[in-house]
């Protein structure tokens, strides 16, 4: 069930980063369903245009397409210029990607680029638009985290550490921004049925838990924002596991799952190369 957003508080425009696919794309759709115009940010312009056109066609909202790589150090100047004339009441800072692999085998430059995208981009966006929302005395910010990130995620050490930063930032700002009338919620999603699952080499059918649909993940995130919750872990079973499974066991389970996925992905790539 989709959440209905108050256009007076969270509109008339919303900014969604990482909006070309997956969770970001679904955020754009569900926000547009409330009649809020959408400014969509991502690297893949053709996909952004498709998502924007679908939002306009289905819900009659305006859209603005902003092709941009948020891992670039000067992205905020471009984003600020592209949104200067918009009255943005909701910011979904969702851009990011996962780069699974053993830490010492991953390229250090790739790790640094991922860290910029997964930490500095959230910082810059939250600081810039937080100032604007604070002056409005209303609005909301959703930061995309990941369930269990603060425990450390083997085979995704850098990515998990970045998400832990987002969790800490978001929960602190939830407290700081509350007197300003601005809601801040961290969406700490578990495995969700997006293209990242394939990037991890995982088969949804053989995973211990079926990945959550993007529709459920986003709708629970938006409902959490409406209640001004500091953090939302979507999915009842995910919440139970997050509360009851010790961090040491969670790390082992995640390491086993991700390692098997990467082995399977490498075997498939080798088979294709030999064919």
Residue 253's pLDDT is 84
| Domain contains 247 | yes
| Domain contains 87 | yes
3-class SS shares of the chain: helix, strand, coil, % to 5: 55, 15, 30
Residue 267's pLDDT is 66
Give pTM, 2 decimals.
0.92
With contact defined as beta carbons under 8 Å apart, do 38 and 32 qualify?
yes
Mean pLDDT by 10 residues, the chain (275 residues): 91 97 96 98 97 98 97 95 98 89 94 94 98 98 94 92 96 98 96 76 73 94 98 93 87 83 70 64
Beta bridge partners of 212: 192
Q: Which of 48, 13, 43, 219 is nearest to 132 (CA)?
A: 13
| Domain contains 244 | yes
With contact defined as beta carbons under 8 Å apart, do 60 and 78 qualify?
no
| Domain contains 174 | yes
With contact defined as beta carbons under 8 Å apart, do 148 and 254 qualify?
yes
| Domain contains 28 | yes
| Domain contains 2 | no
Residue 255's pLDDT is 81
- Using CA atoms, how far apart are residues 47 and 107, in angstroms rounded to an integer? 28
| Domain contains 1 | no
With contact defined as beta carbons under 8 Å apart, do 31 and 56 qualify?
no
Q: What is the CATH number of the domain that holds 172?
A: 3.40.50.720
Could you give the number of structural domains in the chain?
Answer: 1
| Domain contains 31 | yes
Q: Residue 118's domain spans which residues? A: 7-274
Residue 14's pLDDT is 98
């Amino acid at each position: 069930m989709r959440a209905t957003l108050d256009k007076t508080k969270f509109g008339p425009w919303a900014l969604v980063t990482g909006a070309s696919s997956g969770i970001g794309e679904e955020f754009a759709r569900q926000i547009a369903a409330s009649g809020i115009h959408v400014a969509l940010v991502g690297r893949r312009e053709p996909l952004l245009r498709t998502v924007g056109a679908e939002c306009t066609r289905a819900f009659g909202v305006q859209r603005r397409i902003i092709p941009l790589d948020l891992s670039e150090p000067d992205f905020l100047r471009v984003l600020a210029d592209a949104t200067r004339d918009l009255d943005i009441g909701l910011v979904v800072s969702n851009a990011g990607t996962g780069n699974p692999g053993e830490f010492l085998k991953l390229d250090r430059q790739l790790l640094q680029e991922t860290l910029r995208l997964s930490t500095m981009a959230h910082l810059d966006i939250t600081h810039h638009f937080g100032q604007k929302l604070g002056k409005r005395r209303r609005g909301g910010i959703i930061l995309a985290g990941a369930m269990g990130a603060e425990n450390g995620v083997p085979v995704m050490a850098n990515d998990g550490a970045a998400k832990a930063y987002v969790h800490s930032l978001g929960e602190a700002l939830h407290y700081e921004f509350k007197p300003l009338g601005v809601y801040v919620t961290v969406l700490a999603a578990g495995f969700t049925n997006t293209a990242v699952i394939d990037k991890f080499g995982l088969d949804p059918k053989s995973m211990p838990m079926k990945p959550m649909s993007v529709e459920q993940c986003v709708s629970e995130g938006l409902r959490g924002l409406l209640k001004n919750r500091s953090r939302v872990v979507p999915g009842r079973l995910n919440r139970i596991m997050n509360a009851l499974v010790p961090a040491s066991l969670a790390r082992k389970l995640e390491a086993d799952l991700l390692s098997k996925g990467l082995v399977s992905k490498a075997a498939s790539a080798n088979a294709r190369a030999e064919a």
